[in-house]
Amino acid sequence: MAVAEQLAARDSRHAVPTTMRAAVYRGVNDVRVETLPVPQVGAGELLVKVHTCGICGTDLKKIATGSHSAPRIFGHETSGTVAAVGAGVKGFVPGDRVVVFHHIPCRDCFYCRHKTFAQCETYKKVGCTAGFEPSGGGFAEYVRVMDWIVRDGTVSIPDGVSFEQACFVEPVNTCMKGIETLRLSAEERVLVIGQGPIGILLSVLAKRTGAMVITSDLYPRRLTIATSFGLQNGIDASVDDTVSTVRKRTEGRGADAAILAVGSNALIRTAMDAVRPGGRVLLFAQTARGEAAIDPAAVCVDEKTLLGSYSASVELQEESVRFVMSQEMNLESLISHRFSLSNAVEALHLAAHPQPDSMKVVIQPCSDFGGS
């Protein structure tokens, strides 16, 4: 190819069309694939062509409960290629492979000073949008990344690391934050209820602290998948009682800690019964507001502690990036289903109704065009 042709080919690869497809949330359980204008970027901003966007439990919750006004474009576990840069952007050029966080705290307010970053007003302001009220925007072909996210929440993907691996930076961060909240020490025994992709991730990170991990799931298939990540102590909850099995494996005491990686509130009781007196229970998947039954004496008399962790911590950003990019864990292999944007509705449906063999479900907007 002549030099001019090569340059033209390179330019066309980064040429940005005027319209794109996006999966638009239009109301409760109503997501439609629509054609929209490609977002314009201003000074300090980036336009990213989305390669892979993971579907998160919080996206599903928002779609199913109508907790947010419509229309919106969700999706925040986004990796892709820089397609355009706004005036004054330093450090990124078109063609760079990146992963973007969708919100970053101010590090200065009351909540930031108390390290509860997810409660910071700046943090709640979402800095990535594919149109409408900023809501992540990863379920679209192109996403606009606003200036403060370009500065503090955009990470280059090293050569040799796939877009699929890279899109796990945000979920890994949220799981690391949960593990940190639980303050596990080496030799402690921790039960992780639920072995979906997040349960497996939490289990691997818990094991990394030196703790002994016991896993449980109603689907034996998921326990088998978990063993491929080095998680050998599975309880098949479809045949064995989780609480008594955990007690048997802990000299009758119960686990030192338990993590609930399943949304069902009925399992809060299971988790609390499975820990020893003085043990801790981390609610990781209880994102829907409501009421749940607990035994108050388990907290008062048995001195068990209920803890929660939600969203990411800016203080764990570097460590989560290192964990993902070093490929210490093959996160890509947690992906069981890849959907094009045209099939985004099907993708969301599957993610909301997990099957024994479904793990992480991702949407790959550019796969409609033969990949990139």
Whichever of 114 and 183 has its CB closer to Zn ion, that residue is: 114
Q: Which residue number, 305 or 358, has a Cβ lying nearer to Zn ion?
A: 358
Binding residues for Zn ion, how many (CB under 5 A)?
6
Minimum Å gap between C-beta 142 and Zn ion is: 20
Work out how close the CB of 320 gets to Zn ion at its nearest, in angstroms, rounded to a whole number.
Answer: 12
Contacts with Zn ion, 68-107, as mask; x by CB under 5 A? -------------------------------------xx-
Candidates 56, 73, 271, 316: give the one binding Zn ion (CB under 5 A).
Answer: 56
Q: Shortest distance, CB of residue 109 to Zn ion, whole angstroms?
A: 3
Indicate whether 109 belongs to the interface with Zn ion (CB under 5 A): yes
Min separation Cβ 18 and Zn ion, Å: 30
The nearest distance, CB 119 to Zn ion, in angstroms, is 8
Residues paired with 338 in a beta bridge: 362
Site track for Zn ion across 120-139, x = CB under 5 A: x-------------------
Task: State yes or no: residue 335 binds Zn ion (CB under 5 A).
Answer: no
> Least distance from C-beta 112 to Zn ion, angstroms?
3
The answer to whether residues 137 and 144 touch, using CB atoms and an 8 Å cutoff, is yes
As measured in angstroms, the least distance from the Cβ of 8 to Zn ion is 39
> CB under 5 A: which stretch of 51-59, 66-74, 294-302, 325-333 binds Zn ion?
51-59
Q: Which lies closer to Zn ion via its Cβ, residue 112 or residue 226?
A: 112
One of 22, 53, 104, 112 touching Zn ion (CB under 5 A):
112
Q: Which of residues 252-271 bind Zn ion (CB under 5 A)?
A: none
List, in order, residues 6 or more apart from 262 with CB less than 8 Å away. 193, 194, 196, 199, 285
Residues within window 166-225 making contact with Zn ion, judged by CB under 5 A:
none
Q: How far is the C-alpha of 254 from the C-alpha of 237, rounded, in Å? A: 16
Q: How far is the CB of 331 from Zn ion (least distance, A)?
A: 13
Q: Does position 118 bind Zn ion by CB under 5 A? A: no
Smaller CB separation from Zn ion, 164 or 188: 164
What residues make contact with Zn ion under the rule CB under 5 A? 56, 105-106, 109, 112, 120
